[in-house]
Structure 1
Amino acid sequence: MAQRVQDSEDFPNGLKGGVVAIGNFDGVHRGHQEVLSQAVDRSRRLSLPTNVLTFEPHPRTVFRPDEPVYRLTPAPLKARILDLMGFDAVVEQGFDRDFASRSAENFVTDILVGRLGVSHVVTGYDFHFGKGRQGNPDFLIDAGKRFGFGVTLVEAYADENAEVVSSSRIRDALAGGDLGLANGLLGYRYAVTAEVLHGKKLGRSLGYPTGNMALPPETALMPGIYAVRFRRADGSVHDGVASFGRRPTVEDDGAALLLETFVFDFSGDLYGETCQVSFVSRLRGEEKFDGLDQLVAQMKTDEAEARAVLGQLKPLSPLDAAMTFDMTSGSTE
């Protein structure tokens, strides 16, 4: 399991001298994976530790606190994905205005050389760092020559339509209900993790008990009904159908957004467990029905459609197989 290090000051001596990928990597999408894969490949060739330096909270949240960024992969989920990609450690460097005021030279000498002892840095072609973004790729390459570490800059990654893959494109796709596009840009099925909470247990009385999760208020996923894969804390994976929305048939206007997942063929207790929901297909939008009978009839239709979709599911990539499928069984079918 990749070691999560909350600050570079606490970086273990045994992991120093490795290859370090640097970036925010929110979403760990296909463009990020190009940077990260090059770091993993180089470290394996050189038999060196493979590390990631990222920043918490997201810098945009620090500079624009009134506009919190919709995090595609909060720190725990990001660390899990990076672990699946083969990294030894994830440094979640605390980021605040004091840290942002460091000079580019100080970032290199104190963080990269002093704390991490980097042998090689891999980052995107447009990586800037230090006060006023004074550190640019040329500065980093020059610093590498002065301090004895290598630098690899990775060009922007474009999709099949020659459009650059970015976190903002994925956020827009999710907000617009285009889950297929979002998943294609990510290279794996979009996922969220949260603790299962007690609810009003209305679903249980209707024959559809659900595991309820409260997602961050800035979550921009379009409300609707989704075919999903549900991963428990023990690693087991189950098919399901999920509703993300305000439950207009049974709640007053203005109810909080809630993710409710009906896990197929499961009767255990999920309360208090932190689970992962991977979104496979958007089935329909959220609707208000005239009564519970109509709601239950539609839920039966949703269940049948979700079962059909999930019964034919194939991995998008090795990373998707590890995240969305039950790897303990040795099968991705």
Structure 2
Amino acid sequence: MERLTGSAPLPAAFRGGVIALGNFDGFHIGHQAVVARAIDRARAEGRPAIVATFDPHPASFFRPGLPPFRLTTLDQRARLFAAAGADAMLVIGFDRALADLTPDRFVEEALVARFGAGGIVTGFDFTFGKARAGSTAMLAEIGPAHGFTAEVVGPIEDAGGPVSSTRIRRALETGDCEEAARLMSRPFAIAGRVIHGDKRGRTIGYPTANMDMADYQRPLYGIYAVRARLDDGRVIDGAANLGIRPTFDPPKELLETYLFDVSESLYDREMEVELVSFIRPEAKFDGLDSLVAQMDADCEEARRRLSAAA
């Protein structure tokens, strides 16, 4: 799958493509339905299938003080789009110039001039252009005059209403990994480089691979049963502490993952950690003995839950 930038005209091979247009952070089952429709239509019409996403997220552009809320990185989205069958991911830089485009100018300058869109597929709640004045109905109405047709994929709903990234974030904030995974069709996963910590874990028999949370949505602090995907392709079960480690000073927010039956150094390697199940909240312990005893119990519980989830 190719990775394209929206700042310049697309290569000739991708012009005339069917573009799934949205942000797709989280790439939940509603997003997947939009992309699947775009890919199906592209295949039927003999066109490239392109998934467009905005970076940075428009919400963070307009409200830079927002707490971290991202559910996926661009690299994670690229892997997910490729697995779905897209021919290309189109990354549209979201800046003041783009934000100030009227809906008509966005269509003319971006969709037509730069991207050469032959078709557009969006979700039901997609808006675009200055002050979010552009709607899916507008796209459908003005598209044919610009050489493309637009269609809308309706919401995927369950008992909780339409599936949305907001619902996933709320589930993570309460530690409901299973609900988040159901809405996303996969566990929420944090990817990054393993960094050096204070190395306390190795002194008590629990060496951890530590990662910064960066711009990810903060799940409920606590202990999780996890699966880690290493950069060599291995998938390894483990238990992780996500939070500020209240037993130790000074507090420092980290994702600290203890991988079962792994002794090698993982420093500076890339790793993706799936949060499979929340075990318990963070707690402060009076001493190392009580901490180690609890970690023993946490790992046993993590093994049990991961075995049940396999």
Task: Compute the TM-score of the two structures, normalised by the length of structure 1.
Answer: 0.89
Q: Secondary structure at the match of 1:312?
A: helix
Partner amino acid, structure 2, of 1:54: T
Aligned with 1:163 (options 152, 161, 164): 161
Asked if structure 1 preserves the Cα contact closer than 8 Å seen for 2:16 and 2:48, the reply is yes
Asked if structure 2 preserves the Cα contact closer than 8 Å seen for 1:60 and 1:68, the reply is no
How far apart in 1 are the matches of 2:267 and 2:154? 44
Asked if structure 2 preserves the Cα contact closer than 8 Å seen for 1:5 and 1:11, the reply is yes
- Structure 1 equivalent of residue 296 of structure 2: 300
Give CA-to-partner distance per residue, 1:155-183, whole Å, 9 cap, x none. 12212x15111111111111122222222
Residue 10 of structure 1: CA displacement? 5.4
Aligned with 1:280 (options 272, 276, 282): 276
Give CA-to-partner distance per residue, 1:222-253, whole Å, 9 cap, x none. 1111111100112221111111011111224x
Q: Secondary structure at the match of 2:309?
A: coil
- Structure 2 equivalent of residue 260 of structure 1: 256
Partner amino acid, structure 1, of 2:243: G
How far apart in 2 are the matches of 1:82 and 1:90? 7
Q: Secondary structure at the match of 1:139?
A: helix
From the superposition, tell whether residues 290 and 188 of structure 1 become closer, same or farther in structure 2 (CA, over 3 Å). Answer: same
Gaps of 5+ in 1: 315-333
Aligned-CA RMSD value: 1.6
Residue 143 of structure 1: CA displacement? 2.0
- Structure 2 equivalent of residue 26 of structure 1: 25
- Structure 2 equivalent of residue 330 of structure 1: none
Aligned with 1:238 (options 236, 239, 242): 236
How far apart in 2 are the matches of 1:198 and 1:42? 47
1:311 aligns with 2:307: yes
How far apart in 2 are the matches of 1:69 and 1:60? 11
Q: For structure 1, which segment, 180-189 or 38-47, has the greater mean C-alpha deviation from structure 2 after superposition?
A: 38-47
- Structure 2 equivalent of residue 318 of structure 1: none
- Structure 2 equivalent of residue 185 of structure 1: 183
How far apart in 2 are the matches of 1:16 and 1:218? 33
How far apart in 2 are the matches of 1:212 and 1:218? 15
Partner amino acid, structure 2, of 1:187: S
- Structure 2 equivalent of residue 229 of structure 1: 227
Partner amino acid, structure 2, of 1:72: L
Residue 103 of structure 1: CA displacement? 1.7
How far apart in 1 are the matches of 2:220 and 2:78? 25
Asked if structure 2 preserves the Cα contact closer than 8 Å seen for 1:17 and 1:48, the reply is yes
Give CA-to-partner distance per residue, 1:233-290, whole Å, 9 cap, x none. 12221111111011111224xx121100011111222111121001111111111111
From the superposition, tell whether residues 82 and 97 of structure 1 become closer, same or farther in structure 2 (CA, over 3 Å). Answer: same
How far apart in 2 are the matches of 1:115 and 1:64? 27
How far apart in 2 are the matches of 1:308 and 1:72? 27
Asked if structure 2 preserves the Cα contact closer than 8 Å seen for 1:61 and 1:68, the reply is no
How far apart in 2 are the matches of 1:68 and 1:75? 19
Asked if structure 2 preserves the Cα contact closer than 8 Å seen for 1:174 and 1:221, the reply is yes
- Structure 2 equivalent of residue 322 of structure 1: none
Partner amino acid, structure 2, of 1:211: A
Residue 107 of structure 1: CA displacement? 1.3
Asked if structure 1 preserves the Cα contact closer than 8 Å seen for 2:6 and 2:114, the reply is no
Give CA-to-partner distance per residue, 1:24-83, whole Å, 9 cap, x none. 111111111111111122222233211111111011111111224511112222222112
Asked if structure 2 preserves the Cα contact closer than 8 Å seen for 1:8 and 1:91, the reply is no
From the superposition, tell whether residues 10 and 242 of structure 1 become closer, same or farther in structure 2 (CA, over 3 Å). Answer: farther
Partner amino acid, structure 1, of 2:228: F
How far apart in 2 are the matches of 1:303 and 1:262? 9
Task: Compute the TM-score of the two structures, normalised by the length of structure 2.
Answer: 0.95
1:198 aligns with 2:196: yes
How far apart in 2 are the matches of 1:217 and 1:81? 19
How far apart in 2 are the matches of 1:10 and 1:267? 49
- Structure 2 equivalent of residue 53 of structure 1: 52
From the superposition, tell whether residues 107 and 68 of structure 1 become closer, same or farther in structure 2 (CA, over 3 Å). Answer: farther
From the superposition, tell whether residues 105 and 145 of structure 1 become closer, same or farther in structure 2 (CA, over 3 Å). Answer: same
Aligned with 2:207 (options 209, 215, 225): 209
Asked if structure 2 preserves the Cα contact closer than 8 Å seen for 1:8 and 1:116, the reply is no
Partner amino acid, structure 2, of 1:99: L
- Structure 2 equivalent of residue 150 of structure 1: 149
From the superposition, tell whether residues 73 and 217 of structure 1 become closer, same or farther in structure 2 (CA, over 3 Å). Answer: closer
Q: Secondary structure at the match of 1:249?
A: coil
Asked if structure 1 preserves the Cα contact closer than 8 Å seen for 2:194 and 2:209, the reply is yes
